[in-house]
Amino acid sequence: MSRAVLPRRTVLRGMLAGGISVVIPLPRMAAMLNGNGTAYASGAALPLRYGTWFFGNGINPPEWVPAATGVGNAWTLSPSLMPLQPVKSYLQVITGLTNMIPADPAHKGRPAAALTGATSAADVLLPSIDQVLVPFLNTGAMPALPNGLHVGISNTSGAGALDLRISFRGPNASNPPEYDPENVFQQLVMFGGGKSTGGTMGPAGPDPELARRKRALDAVLDSAAALRARLGKADQIRLDQHLDGVHQIENQIAILSTMRTTPTATSAKLADPATAYPNMGAVGSITALRCKAMSDLIVFALATDLTRIFSFMFSCAACHGNYADAGLDPVTFHEDYGHRKSPKGPAYATQGFLTGVKYAMTNFNDTLTRMMNCADGAGNLLDNSVVYSTSCTSESQTHSGNDYPVLVAGKAGGLLKTDQHLRLASGPPGTLGAPNGENVCKVPYTLLTALGRPQGPWGMGASQASSGIAALLA
């Protein structure tokens, strides 16, 4: 029996009471692919994706840099990176990098360089990595979100930093992150259509209460049943899992939306966030639950080809939010822990800072694990993606630019090596990081050229890179 062949833009359609149409995109299914699962049935290659995952306030180099270099079993993760063990086989840790931009002002020029290849003045001077890749990753297609999906967790910044932005189309043209997963959900499910008003058809905006009072899933059941009858067994299972995922995301967001928004003060240590911080779902708060909701939505958007680009700002440059969800005191993480100003002393603050960095990496692992667990062709999303992670400084107290933190995850369709620690400076990191390392901008240059940007200088001034790092490539 010949197998069913589906167009790659197949969607489920339905209608809610009141005339609001619902469209739910589908993940990549076997019926959309060739017999090997390596390309679309039409012959088009599977798309590659790019993401930036940013965390503020830097690192402690001795706790960040792994002790051994090499590939596979030759190296192990450092204490700060240990939460990434589940995705080590997809990870490249690049150390011995130097950010060539002076720390003036702190938390601004250096993250701008790591994201755009140039320092910043009143604003950034060049587009960020994700926006440079837009025309290359979208070749031959027009995703619903061509410039990417941009989300954030903490919306608390510090003066003089890069502010609440990590994605830039150019100077004075940023892509601000969305902090509310409910708003992201409504955007992705693409609620729309029209309503009749006095005999005239006009556009109808999203129903802000839709996720709470009527599941969109119900509206497309007939469409889903008709499609299911055309699918093979494997695709039927994938369709069911996809719809279960939509259902789960709706439930999670509905729960988040009903949580209290009045902060609860506490000095408890290692407290259960569900009881000590009942407002953990508040927009702008740094919580693992909010990160999981955003990661689910990013995976949904990538798997359904609504976008091929994302940015995830876990915490912004010089973030002054608190990491109470990680068991730390409900104080500014930047000051009390990053700059060791806690009234409980520097030793306490240093240990708390390590806890905070590990907490950020725990949430990064969650994003990567969800991508790894999402099927994509013959592999998974991480097989066909690259995620670049960095921060706004290296050593947090002095704003050092040495041993600047950079992680690369994903195989990018087989273009990149994985499970590697590559060190590009001689000697151990020391307290402030090893000096005279390789230009940090060579890492994004390598990714840009691997994903389609032509060879040639990228960046400006001291940060400009004209060659990549061959050891990162497969």
Q: Which residue has the higher pLDDT, 325 or 282?
A: 325
pLDDT band with cut points at 50, 70 and 90 for residue 159 = low
**Would the pLDDT of 153 be above 50?**
yes
Which of 93-102, 261-270, 275-284, 304-313 shows the lowest mean pLDDT across its residues?
A: 261-270
Q: Which residue has the higher pLDDT, 147 or 209?
A: 147
Whole-number pLDDT of residue 244 = 62
Which of 75-79, 268-272, 321-325, 411-415 shows the lowest mean pLDDT across its residues?
A: 268-272
How would DSSP label each residue in 287-348?
-HHHHHHHHHHHHHHHHTTS-SEEEEESS-TT-----GGGT--SS-IIIIIIT---TT-HHH
Q: Which residue has the higher pLDDT, 251 or 313?
A: 313
**Would the pLDDT of 196 be above 60?**
no
Strands (DSSP E) found in 184-296: 192-197, 200-203
Whole-number pLDDT of residue 404 = 97
- Compute how many other C-beta atoms are within 10 angstroms of the C-beta atom of residue 202: 9
- Compute how many other C-beta atoms are within 10 angstroms of the C-beta atom of residue 135: 11
120, 325, 373 from 458: Cα distances, Å: 15, 39, 34
Half-sphere exposure (Cβ direction) of 325: Cα atoms closer than 13 Å: 24
**Would the pLDDT of 272 be above 50?**
no
Whole-number pLDDT of residue 206 = 37
Rounded CA-CA distance 11/9 in Å is 6
Q: Fill in the DSSP letter of residue 100.
A: -
Rounded CA-CA distance 128/116 in Å is 4
Residue whose token pair is 């730390």: 328
- What value does the CA radius of gyration of the chain take, rounded to a whole number of Å? 23
Rounded CA-CA distance 168/160 in Å is 18
Nearest one of 55, 73, 28, 130 to 366, comparing CA atoms: 55
Whole-number pLDDT of residue 29 = 64
**Would the pLDDT of 40 be above 90?**
no
**Would the pLDDT of 282 be above 80?**
yes
Find the mean pLDDT for residues 186-198: 46
pLDDT band with cut points at 50, 70 and 90 for residue 24 = low
pLDDT band with cut points at 50, 70 and 90 for residue 11 = low
Strands (DSSP E) found in 145-266: 149-152, 168-170, 173-174, 192-197, 200-203
Whole-number pLDDT of residue 251 = 54
User: pLDDT, tens digit, for every residue of 384-405?
Assistant: 999 999 999 999 999 999 999 9
User: pLDDT, tens digit, for every residue of 224-252?
Assistant: 777 777 887 777 776 776 666 565 555 54
Please give the helix or strand (H or E) that residue 351 lies within, else none: helix 346-372
Nearest one of 301, 290, 366 to 147, comparing CA atoms: 301
How would DSSP label each residue in 385-419?
EEEEEE-S-SBTTTT--BT--EEEES-GGGTB--S
User: pLDDT, tens digit, for every residue of 408-426?
Assistant: 999 999 999 999 999 999 8
**Would the pLDDT of 283 be above 70?**
yes
Whole-number pLDDT of residue 124 = 92
**Would the pLDDT of 278 be above 60?**
no
55, 75, 116, 311, 408 from 152: Cα distances, Å: 10, 32, 19, 8, 20
pTM for this structure? 0.78
Q: Fill in the DSSP letter of residue 458.
A: B
Residue whose token pair is 């993940």: 27
Find the mean pLDDT for residues 433-451: 96
Which of 10-19, 125-134, 314-323 shows the lowest mean pLDDT across its residues?
A: 10-19
Find the mean pLDDT for residues 75-101: 97
Which of 126-135, 294-303, 310-319 shows the lowest mean pLDDT across its residues?
A: 294-303
Residue 122, exposed/middle/buried by CB under 10 A (0-12, 13-18, 19+)? exposed
User: pLDDT, tens digit, for every residue of 43-53?
Assistant: 566 789 999 99
User: pLDDT, tens digit, for every residue of 164-179?
Assistant: 899 999 998 899 999 9
Conformational region of residue 258, where left means phi above 0, alpha means psi within -120 to 50, and beta covers everything else = alpha
- Compute how many other C-beta atoms are within 10 angstroms of the C-beta atom of residue 84: 23
Half-sphere exposure (Cβ direction) of 306: Cα atoms closer than 13 Å: 24
Tokens of 218: 């119900």
Find the mean pLDDT for residues 243-264: 49
- Cite the DSSP H helix spans in 117-178: 129-132, 134-137
pLDDT band with cut points at 50, 70 and 90 for residue 34 = low
Tokens of 139: 């070749």
Whole-number pLDDT of residue 8 = 65
- Compute how many other C-beta atoms are within 10 angstroms of the C-beta atom of residue 14: 18
**Would the pLDDT of 263 be above 80?**
no
Q: Which residue has the higher pLDDT, 305 or 364?
A: 364
User: pLDDT, tens digit, for every residue of 318-349?
Assistant: 999 999 999 999 999 999 999 999 999 999 99
Nearest one of 315, 337, 394 to 60, comparing CA atoms: 394
Whole-number pLDDT of residue 26 = 67
DSSP three-state, residue 13: strand
Find the mean pLDDT for residues 106-126: 91
State the Cα torsion 355-357-362-363 to the nearest 10°.
Answer: 120
